[in-house]
Structure 1
Amino acid sequence: MAAPLRVGFVTGATPDKWARAWRERRREPLELVPVVEEDQEPLLRDGSLDLCLVRLPVGRDGLHVVRLYDEVPVVVVPKDHFVTAAPEVSLDDLADEQLVRPHASGWTPRVDQLEWPAMSEREAVEVVASGSGVALVPMSVARLYHRKDVATRPVTDLEPSTVALAWLVERDAEDTQAFVGVVKGRTANSSR
């Protein structure tokens, strides 16, 4: 039997509909591999993954990258936080807040930030729930790690995060192109 097509997906991305379409059309096995954002590009470049649903940016040298969709950035706060009084917030509303993942969003608030150890999105939401700060994450990540003791609000002036499909230029095989076609919505009978 052929080796499976290994498709990574970054936290929050949902490859299910594409995997289902693949399995309906193809005999080759498909293996979905969850990856954290820090590992998405290295796993593609070292050949551990054939393709990956990545969160941009990634280095474009030697990679094909197809933008798929943008995600709304949200702030995760304790349930009783003042920003929950509004349906959305701006960065000015958060300027005096402690970010528990200060470098993950690319935005730096006005106040000095504590030095936090590196942490996953799940860990960040747990820290927020304890009342020790706020986190900025894509909406899909906030939904994935939702808890009863936290709330989220869209951040209107923070750039959206973009999810894309990426693969090595040298890995442009027929099965790769077939999966790209599935993701782009080509039907089983359509051609490139």
Structure 2
Amino acid sequence: MAKGGGSRGQRRDAAPRRAAKPGQKRAQKARQTSTSKKPRGAPVVFDAPPPAQEEPRRLRLGTVAGATPGRWIDTWRERFPDVPVEVVPLELSSQQESLRAGGVDLALVRVPLDPDGLSVIALYDEIAVVVCSADSALTAVEELDPADLEGEVLLVPRDAVYDIDLPGTLTPRVDPPADTAEAIATVAAGVGIVIVPLSLARLHSRKDAAHRPLRGAATSTVALAWPTARTTPDVEAFIGIVRGRTANSSR
């Protein structure tokens, strides 16, 4: 029987087992301990979702028809090129609700409005003008008196700015126009007159219509308004631009 120097039954071609280093032993033990302590059926925990990114800054400026904020917006873009201005058209009937509901940050509105909870700065007054057809006899003068309108059919659109009662004018027998644009289109066709602020006459100007100032009529005040509780730094900056502050002036 052959003699051998190794243990009985040991394979000669088996590779010797290397001893684990101390650091590897600790890592293996930690993995075994972690696996053994995890309860069966435990829910799988995924990585938490990344935090939602903040919406980029923007200034939402509401404007009623006829308001012209162009020069203020241009100044804003020069001073704050990274903060865009979003112009939001407002209906006259819902200008207050848009401000209070947070649909806009601030707005160019028409007075009167309920100032409760709002800050309001009057900006300028607009004169009232009479819009008529371009070939109307009313265009023979540069300015009209209320007496000149006697016998005229007075159209009052549903979005009318003025609630003017002119003695001697006639009430139309049809439903009122849906808006100022429709009213001006109607008078341009030779049917009646409509009284609007000058800016609206210019906004809806057309070749077959003309307008003349109405002497003694009430003016329409355009104002800047915003929710007092939401007076943000951006709102304050826009107010400063409207008031004529320079980029280096302090509040």
TM-score, length basis structure 1: 0.93
RMSD, aligned CA: 1.6
Q: In the alignment, is residue 126 of structure 1 matched against residue 180 of structure 2? A: no
1:30-45 to 2 correspondences below 5 Å: 30-45=85-100
SS for the counterpart of 1:84 is helix
Q: In the alignment, is residue 163 of structure 1 matched against residue 218 of structure 2? A: no
User: Quick one: which of 1, 16, 24 aligns to 2:78?
Assistant: 24
In the alignment, the residues of structure 2 paired with residue 18 and residue 188 of structure 1 have an alpha-carbon distance, to the nearest angstrom, of 13
In the alignment, the residues of structure 1 paired with residue 113 and residue 130 of structure 2 have an alpha-carbon distance, to the nearest angstrom, of 23
Identity between Structure 1 and Structure 2 (%): 46
1:98-177 to 2 correspondences below 5 Å: 98-101=153-156, 104=160, 105-110=162-167, 111-114=169-172, 116-177=175-236
Ranges in structure 2 where 5+ consecutive residues have no aligned partner: 1-54
Larger relative contact order (Cα-Cα within 8 Å, sequence gap ≥ 6) = 1
In the alignment, the residues of structure 1 paired with residue 220 and residue 137 of structure 2 have an alpha-carbon distance, to the nearest angstrom, of 25
In the alignment, the residues of structure 1 paired with residue 248 and residue 166 of structure 2 have an alpha-carbon distance, to the nearest angstrom, of 51
**Alpha-carbon displacement from aligned partner over 1:2-21 (angstroms, at most 9, x marks no partner):** 24210011111111111111
The answer on whether the counterparts of 1:96 and 1:109 sit within 8 Å (CA) in structure 2 is no
SS for the counterpart of 1:92 is helix
Q: In the alignment, is residue 90 of structure 1 matched against residue 148 of structure 2? A: no
Of 10-19 and 93-102, the range deviating more from structure 2: 93-102
Q: In the alignment, is residue 58 of structure 1 matched against residue 128 of structure 2? A: no
Aligned length: 192
In the alignment, the residues of structure 1 paired with residue 186 and residue 177 of structure 2 have an alpha-carbon distance, to the nearest angstrom, of 12
TM-score, length basis structure 2: 0.72
State the structure with more CA Rg.
2
The answer on whether the counterparts of 1:102 and 1:113 sit within 8 Å (CA) in structure 2 is no
SS for the counterpart of 1:177 is helix
In the alignment, the residues of structure 2 paired with residue 102 and residue 34 of structure 1 have an alpha-carbon distance, to the nearest angstrom, of 18
